[in-house]
Amino acid sequence: MPEGPELHLASRFVNRMCDGVVFTGPVIKSEVSKSPDVAFTCDAYRIMATSRGKEVKLTLTPMKSDDNKQRVKGGQADQPMDIVFRFGMSGFFRFTTEDELPKHSHLRFFSNEKPCRVLSFVDARRFGSWQPNGTWQPDRGPCIMFEYKSFRENVMSNLSDRAFDRPICEALLNQKYFNGIGNYLRAEILFRLNIPPFVQARTVLEGLETEDLRESEKPVKGEIRDAKTLNTTVKKKVKVETADLLRLCHTVPLEVVNLGGKGYDPEKADYSAFEAWLQCYYVDGMKSIRDHNGRTMWFKGDPGPMAPKDAKSPKAKKRSKKSDDHDYTGKKKVAKGRSESKIKENVVKQETGTKKPKKEKDGFQKETGSRRRKSERDGKEVNTPQGKKKPTARSRKGSIAEGAAGQQRRSERVTRQSSK
- CA 320 to chain CA centroid, nearest Å: 16
Q: Are 248 and 192 in contact (CB under 8 A)?
A: yes
C-alpha distances in angstroms, 206 versus 148, 155, 159, 201, 203?
A: 18, 10, 7, 9, 6
Which amino acid would we find at residue 380?
K
Residue 5 vs residues 2, 57, 143, 240, 393: alpha-carbon distances, Å: 8, 15, 11, 25, 77
Determine the pLDDT at residue 242.
Answer: 47
CATH number assigned to the domain with residue range 4-132, chosen from the 4 options 3.20.190.10, 3.30.930.10, 3.40.800.20, 3.40.640.10: 3.20.190.10
pLDDT value at position 228?
Answer: 47
The secondary structure element, H or E, covering residue 394 is helix 393-419
Please give the single-letter amino acid code of residue 129.
S
Q: Contact 225/116 with Cβ under 8 angstroms?
A: no
pLDDT of res. 231 = 46
Specify whether 54 is catalytic.
yes
| Three-class SS state of 106 | strand
Question: Domain spanning 148-217+227-315: which CATH class is it, in words?
Answer: mainly alpha
Catalytic residue among 5, 54, 57, 102: 54
Cα–Cα distance for residue pair 353/349, rounded to 1 Å: 6
Task: Please tell me the predicted confidence (pLDDT) of residue 64.
Answer: 84
What is the rounded CA–CA span in Å between residue 141 and residue 179?
Answer: 5
CA distances from 319 to 169, 182, 191, 323, 326 (A): 21, 20, 18, 6, 11
Strand-pairing partners, residue 121, are: 93, 107
Note the pLDDT of residue 239: 44
Give the start-to-end residue ranges of the domains of the chain.
4-132, 148-217+227-315
Q: Kindly give, in sequence order, each residue whose CB lies less than 8 Å from that of residue 206, ignoring residues fewer than 6 positions away.
A: 159
pTM of the model: 0.68
Question: Whose CA is closest to 193, among 143, 238, 151, 234?
Answer: 238
pLDDT for 419 equals: 52
Q: Is 163 helix (H, G, I), strand (E, B) or coil?
A: helix
Strands (E), 100-233: 105-110, 117-122, 129-132
DSSP codes of every residue in 283-331: -TT-EEEE-TTS-EEEESS---TTS-TT--PPPHHHHHHHHHHT---HH
Amino acid in position 359: K
53: left (phi over 0), alpha (psi -120 to 50) or beta: left
Residue 102's nearest CA partner among 115, 92, 113 is: 92
Query: Among candidates 300, 281, 298, which has minimal Cα distance to 289?
Result: 298
* pLDDT computed for residue 339 by the predictor: 46
Nearest to 292 by CA among 147, 167, 149: 167
CA distance 18 to 40: 18
The pLDDT > 70 percentage for the chain reads 63
- Give the DSSP letter of residue 336: H
Q: Choosing from 2, 62, 102, 142, which is the catalytic residue?
A: 2
pLDDT lower than 50: segments of the chain: 218-242, 316-339, 347, 354-361, 363-364, 366-367, 375-376, 379-388, 420
Per-residue confidence (pLDDT) for residue 412, from 0 to 100: 61
Q: What is the pLDDT of residue 243?
A: 75
End-to-end CA distance of the chain: 107
Q: How far is CA 272 from the centre of its chain?
A: 18
* Length of the chain in terms of residues written: 420
DSSP 3-state assignment of 147? Answer: coil
Q: Please tell me which residue in 3, 55, 147, 170 is annotated as part of the active site.
A: 3
Helix axes 245-257, 4-17, angle to 10 degrees: 30
